[in-house]
Structures are given as C-alpha cells and as structure tokens.
C-alpha cells in the first residue's frame, strides 16, 4: 500500500465532506481547494480523437489569464452538478482558471425556486409576492456571502446555472465583466406569454446578463434581448459514473442491494421528482411481470435544492410494498460512491427506463446510451436530440406501450444490442465533454476577444435546426 497516496485520499475525502465552504466555494485553484479531478488530457485522446483535442488546446491557449466562475444551487444531485464535477477541473487542466460556488438557502427558499422551476415548465400557478420576497432575501444574503471573495477573484466571465442563482448578477456584476445565464430546463414560451408575473420576474433578473445559453433550439426563448447560444449538455466518458467497470465491481453493487443478476433487470436512474415519470416505470414493470420474470430498480439521490424529493421517494416506496423484485434505492450522499453505483446498475440493466413527463435534457439517458443500453423514454424536452425513435432508443406515451417495448427487447437480445451500439456511437459523436467544453471556450473567446450582435442565435452544431421551434419575441397578453 502506498501510504502517501492513502493519506492524500483521506484528506481529499475529509475536504469533500465539508463542501461547500462558508463562502460557497466548491473548487478554487487559487485557494488550493481542488478536492476532485479528472484524468489527464491525454487520456481523452483515444476517445474523441487527436485532432479534436489539439483544437481544444488551441482554443484554451487563446484564453490564458481569463478567469471563469460557475455558480449553481447545489453540489449534490442533478445533472448540473454532475457536469461541473468534471468540467471545472477539466478547464483548469487546459490552463483556463475556473472556480465553482454554490448557493446556500433555507428550505423555504428552495421551495420557492422549485415552484419557479415548475412554473417555467408549464405547471399551473402564480408567483406570489411572498415567494418573490423570499427569493430577494436569499439572493441578497448569498451576494453578501460571496462579495469579498468574488472581488478578490475578479472573474472575467461568470456562468450562472438555472433560475435559483439568477438574481446574483444584479448584486455582484462589475464593470467589463460578462455574465452568462445557462438555462438547463425546458422553458415553456407559451407559459411566459400567459403568466405575466412570471415573465416579468424572470425578465427583470435576466436583463442583467450578457447572454443566455440553451441546451437546444427547442428551448430558445425569444423574449430576452440577449445573445443566445445553443450548447447541449455532455457526459464525461472517463468519470466514475461512465468509465468501464469490472464484473466484480458490478456484482458488488448488485449484492449490496440484493439484486439477482440472473433475472432481467429494468433500471430507472433519476432524482425522486414528480416530473421523472417513475410511476410509469412501476406500472410498465408490473405489466411485464405478468408475462415474464424481471426486476425493477428505481435509484436516485436527494438534490439539496429539491424539497419534493423525500415525498416522491416515500410514495414510490409505498407503491413497491409487497414486491421484493422492486428495488427503490436512495443512493449514498458520497458523490463518488453514488456515481459508481449508478454506473454498475446501468451496466447490469437489460433495459433503461426514463419516461419523464418534462425534462431539461436527461443527462442520465446519455449516460445509459454511452454504456450501450437501449433506452425507453418519452419524446419531451431535448430527449429527442439524443434518442432517435427505433434507432438509438424508443419513445412511448404510456406504461402499456412501454411494457410492450420492454418485452420485445427482453425477447430479442440481438436487437437490444444493436440499438445499444448505435446509441453509444451517437453519444460519442455528439455529447462528450471535450467537444462541448470547446463550445464554451468559443463563447469565452467571443466575449474576451470579439463582439457579436445581441440578437444572435449561435449554435456550433449544424443539426440543431431552429425550425424545430419558432423563435419569436413574446410579451404578456394584454401588452
């Protein structure tokens, strides 16, 4: 045993357990706070190709001395945190300084931001004065916490992820600094038109930004007179969640949860969230179970910014009572342990289920496709950018139709393998971290070395056609 390496590992685990720091920091090279890392740049070359990696390094060289700050609502749970755990250290390896901070807030604040999230995705309701006051108070408090450290770092570009920290630009943005809002969710443009209070609230905060980044053309909202960029999310192929695992590693996770490797396994990985369609997966499993033996795993973590998680988890546990072949798993809080278990469960699965009702992108789908697994999902949000029906996965509209697809895949392993192989290749071509980080570097380069029209809509991928969604300016009805 290498004693020095073991000591370093223990120190790193202790630091991770104390994150974020009081000032919100999760990762900061200048402070020596680098509790997680990614493999060397060279290790990505066999996966994405030497030419792409060379281009990536050339882009990074143009940004020497540029400082980036990423801000989101939580370091645990959800696709945003998942990407930042790889993106931030990866950019630092490339020589572009990138720091990461997260917000702090009471449960009442996260209930408000969850409501905002739901309203933006089309749920009926209004944004009340009480909710807005709670949001203002929390944002001002976080801005005060960040202020001194933010001033000391003095970032050139700040990227704010999703609505929770959106208001920070008003309090922290300095002269000549650029702020980007990275919207990961499926914003319903019609909702903004018919909900004047919500439209005015979001527009007020968005007005302090220089650009907004969407996941796809489907999401582009013309309401905001900002530069608009399209960059899809990504997976890190060498992360703990996506790297190759040994047979023993997979068996160890299955054994921990009492899962029989001899019985076909259906798996859904997601937050315990009403939008994730977990009920559909349970119903589909029960229909399949009448015809053939199988097991269902529903596994997820509790995102700190989602107060609805515990209620959804308890409801799913109630639905699973009396059936020992339904495994409802609350994943460990340790990020790396959780990632390893997700990896093992997905690799053990015969079929992956993700029948979300609403979805920002569905990063877990890309993760499953990377592992060569057939995915059954709904055609919502940006899922259709990953899944091409009948080719790289399957779309369904009900539990009954999902069950038919599951039975077909379990009875035809060659077909399942073929679909999974195409899915893997599709993710390799479009949704790996080095390619999408290059897109961000191009944005940074525009901001630091050039100018673009504020109404520009820029995509680095020719197949993100704007015809998928009409892009227009929208105003509340009556104005």
State the Cα–Cα distance between residues 346 and 250, nearest whole angstrom: 9
One domain for residues 173 and 94: yes
Please give the order of strands across the beta sheet that includes 457-459: 25-27, 97-102, 67-72, 157-161, 178-182, 211-214, 227-230, 457-459
**DSSP for residue 468:** G
Q: What is the pLDDT of residue 465?
A: 43
Asked whether residue 239 is domain-assigned, the answer is no
One domain for residues 173 and 256: no
Residue 100's H or E segment, with its range, is: strand 97-102
Locate 408 and state its tokens: 């077909």
CB-based contact 121:186 (threshold 8 Å): yes
State the Cα–Cα distance between residues 342 and 352, nearest whole angstrom: 12
CB-based contact 25:31 (threshold 8 Å): yes
Nearest to 36 by CA among 97, 103, 92, 80: 92
Task: Per residue of the chain (479 residues), give pLDDT as tens.
Answer: 443 444 344 334 444 556 789 899 999 999 999 999 999 999 999 999 999 999 999 999 999 999 999 999 988 877 899 999 999 999 999 999 999 999 988 889 989 988 988 888 778 888 899 999 999 999 999 999 999 999 999 999 999 999 899 999 999 999 899 999 999 887 767 777 888 888 889 889 999 999 999 888 877 877 677 888 989 899 999 999 999 999 999 999 999 999 999 999 999 999 898 889 999 999 999 999 999 999 999 999 876 656 677 888 999 999 999 899 999 999 998 889 999 999 999 999 999 999 999 887 889 999 999 999 999 999 987 788 899 999 999 999 999 999 999 999 999 999 999 999 999 999 999 999 999 999 999 999 999 988 555 555 677 655 444 334 444 434 444 44
One domain for residues 314 and 267: yes
Locate 118 and state its tokens: 């739901």
Domain span at residue 318? Answer: 247-430
Q: Which residues contact 56 (CB under 8 A, 6 or more apart)?
A: 94, 434, 437, 438, 441
State the Cα–Cα distance between residues 400 and 283, nearest whole angstrom: 8
CB-based contact 187:221 (threshold 8 Å): yes
State the Cα–Cα distance between residues 329 and 298, nearest whole angstrom: 6
One domain for residues 183 and 260: no
State the Cα–Cα distance between residues 261 and 254, nearest whole angstrom: 7
One domain for residues 421 and 443: no
State the Cα–Cα distance between residues 328 and 326, nearest whole angstrom: 6
Nearest to 461 by CA among 187, 225, 218: 218
Locate 280 and state its tokens: 């559909």
What pairing do the DSSP bridges indicate for beta strands 97-102 and 25-27? antiparallel
CB-based contact 65:37 (threshold 8 Å): no
One domain for residues 79 and 194: yes
Q: For the chain, what is the domain count?
A: 2
CB-based contact 177:158 (threshold 8 Å): yes
One domain for residues 181 and 263: no
Beta carbons within 10 angstroms of residue 450's beta carbon: 7
One domain for residues 449 and 420: no
For residue 33, what is the domain's CATH number?
A: 3.40.50.2000
Asked whether residue 242 is domain-assigned, the answer is no
State the Cα–Cα distance between residues 383 and 54, nearest whole angstrom: 30
Q: Which residues contact 46 (CB under 8 A, 6 or more apart)?
A: none
Asked whether residue 295 is domain-assigned, the answer is yes
One domain for residues 35 and 74: yes
Asked whether residue 450 is domain-assigned, the answer is yes
State the Cα–Cα distance between residues 159 and 211, nearest whole angstrom: 10
Nearest to 216 by CA among 87, 361, 326, 336: 361
* Extended strands (E) in 162-292: 178-182, 211-214, 227-230, 265-269
Sign of the Cα torsion 297, 303, 306, 308 reads positive
Asked whether residue 299 is domain-assigned, the answer is yes
Locate 277 and state its tokens: 């369609």
Asked whether residue 462 is domain-assigned, the answer is yes
Q: What is the pLDDT of residue 394?
A: 97
3-state secondary structure of 151: helix
Q: Which residues contact 305 (CB under 8 A, 6 or more apart)?
A: 73, 74, 77, 78, 103, 105, 110, 113, 114, 164
CB-based contact 26:70 (threshold 8 Å): no
One domain for residues 320 and 189: no
Asked whether residue 24 is domain-assigned, the answer is yes
Q: What is the pLDDT of residue 306?
A: 65
Asked whether residue 2 is domain-assigned, the answer is no
One domain for residues 182 and 312: no
State the Cα–Cα distance between residues 342 and 335, nearest whole angstrom: 11
Please confirm whether the linkage preceding 20 is cis (ω < 30° from 0): yes
The separation between the first and the last C-alpha atoms of the chain, rounded to the nearest angstrom, is 70
One domain for residues 274 and 164: no
């Amino acid at each position: 045993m290498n004693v020095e390496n073991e000591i370093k590992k223990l120190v790193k685990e202790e630091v991770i357990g104390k994150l974020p720091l009081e000032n919100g920091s999760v990762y900061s090279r200048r402070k020596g706070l680098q509790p997680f890392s990614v493999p060397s740049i060279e290790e990505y070359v066999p996966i994405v190709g030497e030419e792409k990696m060379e281009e990536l390094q050339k882009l990074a060289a143009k940004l020497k001395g540029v400082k980036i700050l990423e801000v989101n609502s939580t370091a645990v749970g959800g696709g945003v945190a998942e990407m930042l755990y790889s993106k931030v250290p990866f950019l630092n390896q490339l020589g572009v300084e990138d720091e990461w901070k997260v917000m702090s807030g009471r449960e009442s604040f996260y209930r408000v931001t969850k409501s905002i999230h739901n309203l933006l995705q089309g749920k009926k309701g209004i944004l009340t004065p009480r909710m807005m006051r709670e949001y203002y108070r929390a944002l001002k408090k976080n801005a005060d916490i960040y202020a001194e450290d933010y001033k000391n770092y003095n970032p050139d570009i700040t990227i704010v992820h999703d609505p929770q920290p959106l208001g920070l630009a008003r309090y922290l943005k300095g002269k000549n600094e650029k702020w980007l809002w990275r919207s990961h969710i499926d914003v319903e443009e019609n909702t903004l038109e018919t909900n004047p209070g919500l439209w005015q609230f979001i527009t007020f905060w968005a007005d302090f930004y220089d650009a907004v980044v969407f996941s796809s053309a489907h999401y582009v909202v013309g309401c905001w007179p900002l530069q608009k960029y399209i960059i899809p999310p990504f997976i890190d192929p060498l992360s703990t969640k996506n790297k190759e695992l040994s047979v023993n590693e997979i068996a160890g996770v299955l054994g921990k949860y009492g899962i029989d490797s001899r019985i076909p396994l259906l798996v859904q990985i997601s937050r315990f969230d009403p939008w994730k369609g977990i009920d559909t997966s349970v119903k589909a499993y029960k229909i399949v179970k009448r015809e053939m033996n199988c097991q269902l795993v529903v596994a997820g973590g509790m995102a700190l910014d989602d107060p609805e998680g515990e209620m959804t988890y308890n409801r799913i546990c109630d639905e699973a009572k009396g059936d020992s072949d339904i495994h409802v798993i609350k994943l460990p809080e340790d990020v790396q342990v959780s990632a390893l278990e997700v990896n093992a469960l997905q690799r053990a699965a015969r079929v992956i289920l993700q029948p979300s009702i609403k979805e920002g992108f569905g990063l877990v789908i890309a993760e499953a496709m990377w592992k060569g697994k057939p995915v059954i999902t709904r055609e919502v949000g940006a899922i259709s950018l990953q899944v091409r029906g009948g080719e790289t996965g399957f779309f369904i509209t009900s539990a009954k139709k999902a069950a038919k697809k599951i039975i077909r895949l379990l009875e035809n392993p060659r077909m399942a393998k073929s679909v999974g192989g195409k899915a893997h290749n599709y993710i390799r071509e479009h949704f790996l971290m080095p390619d999408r980080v290059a897109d961000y570097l191009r944005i940074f380069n525009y901001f630091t070395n050039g100018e673009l029209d504020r109404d520009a809509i820029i995509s680095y991928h020719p197949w993100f056609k704007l015809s998928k969604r009409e892009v227009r300016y929208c105003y509340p009805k009556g104005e």
